[in-house]
């Protein structure tokens, strides 16, 4: 038996959308347990709960259903047991696989909605976007993702046609209509986001002319970036123990000492296998990292997968063109790691390698300010390679 069940059960009559069955299959590549745990947190971020985790091992994904017929039967049984109509896969699926799964899992039952990892992250971004800019970027990401998944018989867009524009004549095939409508909306969104980019470039130019040190806080989602930002700036950016609590970039002026100040930006959190459509759509926001003089790369020091998290963040930074921007690694949450004390770690030449701190308690935060003051005083001289 390859199904791991949680001890509690969904009450009879519970909202079938509030409980999901999570599917985590291992193909011998990455730590399946860690991936499943992260997917469960993504589900919880949307306000749902995981009623059951269906696990298993395969040599390769099944072309039709990803999971294979036997595993599909197990997933269907789990959905019925929990009165759930939502199945979540912690990896990416093809459009055909999603369609086949929804048909198979709903057979003799109720309509079932299947989310893969990409759809789940897009759904979270859509639910979290608050600013006009953030909403534009999320809508663009969702539409561009959908445009790559249009296949004959695909019906997910039917509910949204009213908001995409005018429909074509009776002779226009539905697939062609969907593609045309999405294309028109994508074009409009890109034009509106381009205006946002120009506004941000004007603001950045002003800060650059002032000689102000430009700092961007980056890191894996839920590593404590916003908590550090608030500690440094006495700001009130939303802090929550949820993935992607911050979507909109916030920039504040940070006083360092005497006449030295910095412009510091809090950015959206990164995640392993962040959908390319999101990276592309949020390029206007992430441009703050590209244009920064230095990146504060916040890492959860208590995370056993911190090295993998660092690599995932660096991959996204490379993708957006910020791979060469100097970094200071900030090992955060040292209060959760016995034996770690606040300190600035330097190489043999005295250049900064990393800083150990706790944004939650304030330990080591003055050291972060001290490091930024040092950079501001030296004109943002190159840092040592991250270690």
Q: 237: annotated binding-site residue?
A: no
Distances (CA, A) of 63 to 46, 260, 311, 342, 360: 29, 59, 30, 51, 46
Q: 230: annotated binding-site residue?
A: no
The structure tokens 């893969």 sit at 116
Q: 223: annotated binding-site residue?
A: yes
- CA 305 to chain CA centroid, Å, is 17
Q: 269: annotated binding-site residue?
A: yes
Q: 386: annotated binding-site residue?
A: no
**DSSP H helical segments within 17-66, as ranges?**
32-45
Nearest Cα to Cα of residue 80 among 91, 68, 89, 72: 72
Give SS3 for 342: coil
Helix (H) or strand (E) holding 205: helix 174-209
Cβ proximity of 318 and 239 under 8 Å:
no
Helix (H) or strand (E) holding 96: helix 95-106
Q: 333: annotated binding-site residue?
A: yes
Q: 245: annotated binding-site residue?
A: yes
Q: 267: annotated binding-site residue?
A: yes
Q: 220: annotated binding-site residue?
A: yes
Rg (CA), the chain: 23
Phi-psi region of 12 (alpha: psi -120 to 50; beta: other; left: phi over 0): beta
Nearest Cα to Cα of residue 213 among 370, 18, 373: 373
| CA–CA separation, 324 and 136 (whole Å) | 28
Q: 6: annotated binding-site residue?
A: no
The structure tokens 């709960």 sit at 49
Give SS3 for 192: helix
Q: 115: annotated binding-site residue?
A: no
Phi-psi region of 244 (alpha: psi -120 to 50; beta: other; left: phi over 0): left
Distances (CA, A) of 298 to 52, 227, 269, 279: 32, 10, 10, 19
Cβ proximity of 365 and 234 under 8 Å:
no
| CA–CA separation, 269 and 125 (whole Å) | 11
Q: 244: annotated binding-site residue?
A: yes
Q: 74: annotated binding-site residue?
A: no
Q: 335: annotated binding-site residue?
A: yes
Nearest Cα to Cα of residue 325 among 380, 376, 280, 252: 380
Binding-site sequence positions for Mg(2+): 226, 246
Binding-site sequence positions: 219-226, 244-248, 266-269, 332-335
Binding-site sequence positions for GTP: 219-226, 244-248, 266-269, 332-335
């Amino acid at each position: 038996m390859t199904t791991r069940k949680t001890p509690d059960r969904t009450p009879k009559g519970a909202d079938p959308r509030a409980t999901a069955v999570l599917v985590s299959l291992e193909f011998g590549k990455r730590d399946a347990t860690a991936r499943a745990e992260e997917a469960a947190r993504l589900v919880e971020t949307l306000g749902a709960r995981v009623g059951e985790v269906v696990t298993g091992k395969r040599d390769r994904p099944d072309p039709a259903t990803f999971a294979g017929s036997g595993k599909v039967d197990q997933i269907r049984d789990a959905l019925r047991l929990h009165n759930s109509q939502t199945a979540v896969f912690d990896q990416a699926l093809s459009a055909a696989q999603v369609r086949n799964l929804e048909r198979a899992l709903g057979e003799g039952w109720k309509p079932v909605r299947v989310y893969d990892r990409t759809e789940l992250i897009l759904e979270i971004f859509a639910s979290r976007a608050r600013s006009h800019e953030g909403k534009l970027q999320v809508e663009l990401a969702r539409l561009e993702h959908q445009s790559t998944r249009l296949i004959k018989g695909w019906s997910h867009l039917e509910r949204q046609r009213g908001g995409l524009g005018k429909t074509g004549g009776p002779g226009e095939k539905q697939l062609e209509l969907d593609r045309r409508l999405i294309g028109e909306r994508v074009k409009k969104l890109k034009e509106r986001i381009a205006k946002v980019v120009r506004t941000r470039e004007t603001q950045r130019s002003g800060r650059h002319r002032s000689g102000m040190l430009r700092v961007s806080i980056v890191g894996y989602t839920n590593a404590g970036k916003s908590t550090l930002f608030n500690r440094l700036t006495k700001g009130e950016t939303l802090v929550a123990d949820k993935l992607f609590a911050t979507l909109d970039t916030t920039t504040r002026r940070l006083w360092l000492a005497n006449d030295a100040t910095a412009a510091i930006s809090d950015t959206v959190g990164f995640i392993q296998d962040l959908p390319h459509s999101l990276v592309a759509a949020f390029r206007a926001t992430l441009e703050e990292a590209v244009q920064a003089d230095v990146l504060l790369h916040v890492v959860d020091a208590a995370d056993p997968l911190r090295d993998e998290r660092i690599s995932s963040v660096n991959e996204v930074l490379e993708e957006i063109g910020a791979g060469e921007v100097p970094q200071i690694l900030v090992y955060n949450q040292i209060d959760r790691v016995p034996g770690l004390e606040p300190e600035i770690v330097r190489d043999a030449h005295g250049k900064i390698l990393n800083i150990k701190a706790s944004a939650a308690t304030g330990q080591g935060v003055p050291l972060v300010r001290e490091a930024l003051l040092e950079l501001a005083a030296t004109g943002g001289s190159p840092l040592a390679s991250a270690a």
